Structure formats: structure tokens, C-alpha cells
Structure 1
Amino acid sequence: MVKCIETGDEALKDLFKGLLSSGAVDGLILPQRAGKSVIYTLVTDPGKVKDPAIFAPSFGFNAANILRKWLIEDKVLGLVFKPCEARATIELIKLEQINPDAILLISVDCPGTFKNEDYTANTDEIGDKLTDEIKSKLSEKGVEVRAACTMCETKLGEIGDIGIWHMGLGSTTVVALSEKGEAALSKVEGITLGDKDIDRSSLQSEIKSAAESGREALKKELESLNDPLKLLDVLNDCIVCKNCRDICPVCYCKECFFEQSLGNPRGGDLLNIANTRGDVRIPPYGLFYHLTRAYHVCVTCIGCGACEDACPKGIPLTLIYPVVARNVQDLFEYVPGMDLEEPIPLTTYQEDELEPR
């Protein structure tokens, strides 16, 4: 049984305006349409809420990335996020990068997304919601959903304070997921929450089964990289631009090793290394960089695939990060971004935490 209200897609604009005008939030970060593209906007004026595109299957970056250091105490932001973005937000809260009292987390059902450029090129055909029929037609044209989405198990907007659901339902439904969410919705004029029994367990089972199939397909590709030399071949084109690090929502170190002289040698430092070894690849440390990143994010990676999208060389980073991360997370029986109260494994110590695994 959940507290909810059926709104329909058309009423969502009024909902967001109401959250702002009622003072439930001081600002909203939400995706809005801009021509054929979808862009995130930070809106503080209810009159500037124009064309919310919260279900549009477009992914440019993980919006949780811009919230790091959101520690303000007296301002509340409403975040209208896809589940992977909501999970990243929760991980950043655990890592003390976001003040949980300063956000209202609103998660939205997401059946999968396309890269921004693919979505923009096929906007008229895709529309505002993704269906299996649309996916099939685009696949025939060689346009596929992002690899990360094929193995995602958390496509339902059931994370945070408010959920906006449409998958498996007859109409769009706004659901209070927490007391904070219920209090915020109750402030909006015209909204009266009612109790309703909504069971989407069979839909979740279908999503999980499809995700397992997608992950197995990617694992087969990953097996070919078990040989370090083959992995090095895949990373040969890496220019160590660090885009994957900068776009990753859970990679937040204040001082990165690869910005220091030892991790990013230049000029004389580079020559000193070459004199010691006889030669040094330029740019240096490509493989070491990715192995270090994989280690750093292996527990908190939420598998959004933003790293691969940001790579200018088209390196299949979804094979390296989300797939490897899932193996580590399974070891600790940890699902990042799903439970705010569950500590991140590598931030705690238990003498028998790996027994009998």
C-alpha cells in the first residue's frame, strides 16, 4: 500500500510549479526540452518550468555529478532524477558530499536511454517515452540503447522521497516514498494523496531477468580482456584526458593522484622516468590510471555508463567499470545507492566480512 495520486503526464508541470511556489523546495533540477534535445536546468521561478521531459530516454551525463559539495543547510533542492542518478546521490550522501536535509530526491521510471546524440537525431521517432516497439525499430537502424542500460536492474523510480511511476501502470502516478516526500506533496495545492495497492513485483522480475541477460553478454566481452596485454590493446587509444573521472558522479577525491607530478609527469619529471626505465609511453600511465579508477569506484559505481559516453576515443569503459564493479559488489553483498542506512563496505571494517565468500 502506498500513498499516491494519479496525475497523468500533463499535470506534472503543475506539480513541479507547485513544489516551487509552495516553498516545499527552493529550486528544482529537472530535465527540460530544448528543441530536439533534453537539458538539465536548475529552476527557482515557477514560471520558468516550461516543458519537463522527465521520461525522455536521453542521457548526457549523470546529474548527481553537479551536486558534489551541496552542503547548504537552509536551502532545499528538488532533484528529478533517473534511478541511476538517484542512486549516485545516495552514495554521495554516504560519502558526506551532499547534505541529505538539503535535497528532496524525486526518482522517475526509466526503461533505458540513448546517448544524447542518438536521441537528438531520432527525437521525432522516439518521442517522450521509450517502448519496446521503438527500441526494436531503432535497433534495425543500428541505433541501440546505451550498454549500461542493458544491464540495469534499478529502472523503477522507487528510490528517494518521491517516485514518479508510469511503467506497468495505466497512468502516471506520483508516489510518496518517505515522510519527507509526503510532507512536500501535501504542501502542493490540488494534491490529495490516497492509499493504493500497487504491485510491480512481476515487472521488477522482468527487468532483473533482462539485466542479467545484458550483463552476461557484456561479461563474455570482458572475458576477452582477462589477458593484461589484450586489456592494454583496448586502452591503447586512451589519451588520459580523465573525462571518465571528471564525469563520474562517485569519483570525488579532492586531490587526485593523477594530477600530481608523480601521477602526471611533465617535462623534466617525464625525462627522469625515461632515464630510469629506458623509455616511457606518452601520455604515461594509461593502464595504471584505469586500474586505479576501477579500484577507487568498484564499490560505489552505480553502473550509469557516463564514463563510456564521455570518452572521446570510444573506449568501451562499461566493460571495465560497471561489470567489474558488480563483481566486487556481489562479493560484499552490497547494492550501491539503494539504502541510505547501509554503510559502504570499504568505509567500515568487519573481521569476518569476507567469510565464507
Structure 2
Amino acid sequence: MARPPLVPPGPELTAAERTRFARHLLLPDLGLDGQRRLRAARVLVVGAGGLGSPALLYLAAAGVGTIGVVDDDVVESTNLQRQVVHGVDDVGRAKVDSAADAVAAISPDTVVVRHRERLDAVTAMEVLADYDLVLDGADNFPTRYLVGDACARLGIPHVWGSVYRFDGQVSVWWAGEGPCYACVFPQQPPPDAVPSCAVGGVLGAVCASVGSVMATEAVKLVTGSGEVLVGRLLVHDALRQTWDAVPVRRDPGCAVCGASADATRPLGWATQREDACAAGDLADDGSLGRPEVGVEELARLLAERDAGRADFVLLDVREPGERDVAAIPGSVLLPVGEVRAGASVPGGDGRRVVVHCKAGGRSAEAVDLLRARGVDAWDVPGGILAWSRDVDPSVPGY
């Protein structure tokens, strides 16, 4: 169903702008009026990463007048495989700065507002309220739910995308016009229940496919062109090269946008699971009841094991693809999913098991599961990233 344009037309275009945007002016569904609306539009992009990068480039090229960029991170070399607004020389720079430079190189007249911060329950409403719509390319569930909640409360469209490995999803959530994000995904999953791209990987070009659809939906919303993805979830399978549209509906009982939703509750609270932040049971002293081995101590223990003075299993609970990138010598692989399923530790046989993952989240879960089964399991906080940083820099980070 066609909807009215989201943004009123801005000033008349100059002769130079008519030349620059001539291919848009030729489109019957966009034309001169639509281009003026794009020039007047204020669009916020959450995340200058894999999805935000192509969206930013195409929004800038389309002539959007004001683009806000939210990101608190800096550019890392692992980003360059898919985050195309950043280059080799940008490694170590704030992402909002390199993203702003990329936008300026395409569209010098576009105003870029840099929000170098991580949105939270206090800042989200203040930041989002200054924009006509939001493109959400966040890479974590708390931010996605926070943005969805804030958009629903403000009544502005929430153009959302997600990618993992060779798959992508896109939709437009819009409380009052159709479902909001929480209508379709009512609760945040527990930590590490859904692997991230940093764990499972992602094909960079899939980000381009999904990000460009997000930018297209933003242009359609601003100009009133075509039928936007309200009430439909677009699912992309790059290996099969298919796009499927799945109908989705508003939930009348939604805690975020339903008739009985509490507008006074803390932002994002209604979508949180009670166990979302739980990492383990508390000990009597209030600390997590999970024994730990630091990476420097682990290096000493491995040396003693090699000399026959120590006996333990070093268990790697990451995925096989991660192990292909980097591994601690002498470890054995058992992905955390198999630990959840009750698999035995290879070579455990009553010995102490020291567990590591990439950064510590999955190893903490695995230790809790193993200790509940009577295994003498110890956690390695910081995982292989800490090992690479503090013990052996030759081990790649990722």
C-alpha cells in the first residue's frame, strides 16, 4: 500500500543539482518533487558497519540533506572486508569520522551529524527524535531492541536489517502503521544464543545487498514512492540467490506498541529477558562463582604441561571457522553448542578442564554447564583475544 511522503519538499533545486540528480528526476515515481524531499530529509543511520556502510553511501548519493551516524567504535582491519566506508588508512580512527569523510566525498552538500556514542535508555530518545526515520544496522540485540522501542514511542519508521553468513533480513517496522520490531521478535535472546558475525562470519557482499535495500526503503519512505516493507519481512539467501517476503503482523498485546503498552516504563525494558544479563550464579561473597585462569597463568600452565608437571585439558568452545583463523597451541575443539547438547570433553576423563573462547562469553557459559555436570572447569577471561594481546601477538585477532 502506497503511503504519503514522510518529508515535505525542500527548496527548489539549483541548476547544478538538477544535473547531478537527473536520473532521479526522470523517474515518474520520484521526480523533482521527490528529490526536493530527499534534500529536506533527516535520516539517522545506527552503526557505520557492514549494513550502515552501503546505506550511507547510497543515501549520500541520493542527495539526502542530513545524515546522522551513530557509532562508538573505531575502525579495525577485520572491518575492511565489508565496511566499505572505511579504508586501510582509517584503521584506528573513529568510525563516525571516516564515515563522514566517505559521505562528504560523494555529497559535499550533505550535512553529517556525528554521534560517537552507544545509544542507551537515556540518550536514545533524545538522539532519534531529531530525525525523520532511522536505518538500524546495529550488530547487537540490546541496541536493536532499544532503537525499535524508541522508534515505536516516537512513531517514526524503523528500517531494519540483519546479516549472518550468507543470509540477510530486511523490514520496515512502524508502530501505528504496522508491526514494530518487538511485535515480531518479542524478547531479546540470551547472550551468545545467536552467534554474531564475529563468531560465524559474513560474506561482505551480502551486507551490500541488504544495506542497499535499506537505503531504497528509506528513499521510498521519504518520497512516498512505491510500497514499503511495512508488514513484510524480506529474507535473503545469497547461496541460493533468493529473496522471499514473509507476511508479519502487529501484535495487539505487544509490550512496546500494543494497546496496553506502558509508556512510562524504562526504554527497552519490556523486551529484555530476565536471564539476559545472567552469566552465572553468585557466590557467597557476591562474585560470580566461576574459577578463572588468566592468560599469563595459562601460558605458565601450558609450559608445565609440556614439561610433564601439569595435567589438564585446554578446551576451545569456538566454532571451527574461528579456529582456522587463530588457535592456542595444545587446545582441543568442542563448540559451545555441543557442550549445551551434553557432549563430553575430549580427553576429559576426570581431569581439570580450562575453557576459552574468543572473548569470554561462551567460555563462561560452557564452564557453568560443565561444572553443573561435576566437571572441574575453569574459565579463561578475555579468551584468545587476551592471549593474542598479552601472551602471543603472533596469534591473529579477529
Larger % of helix: which?
Answer: 1
Instruction: Compute the TM-score of the two structures, normalised by the length of structure 1.
Output: 0.30
Q: Answer 1 or 2: higher relative contact order, Cα 8 Å, separation at least 6.
A: 1
Q: Considering only CA atoms, is the larger Rg found in Structure 1 or Structure 2? A: 2
Superposition TM-score, scaled by structure 2 size: 0.28
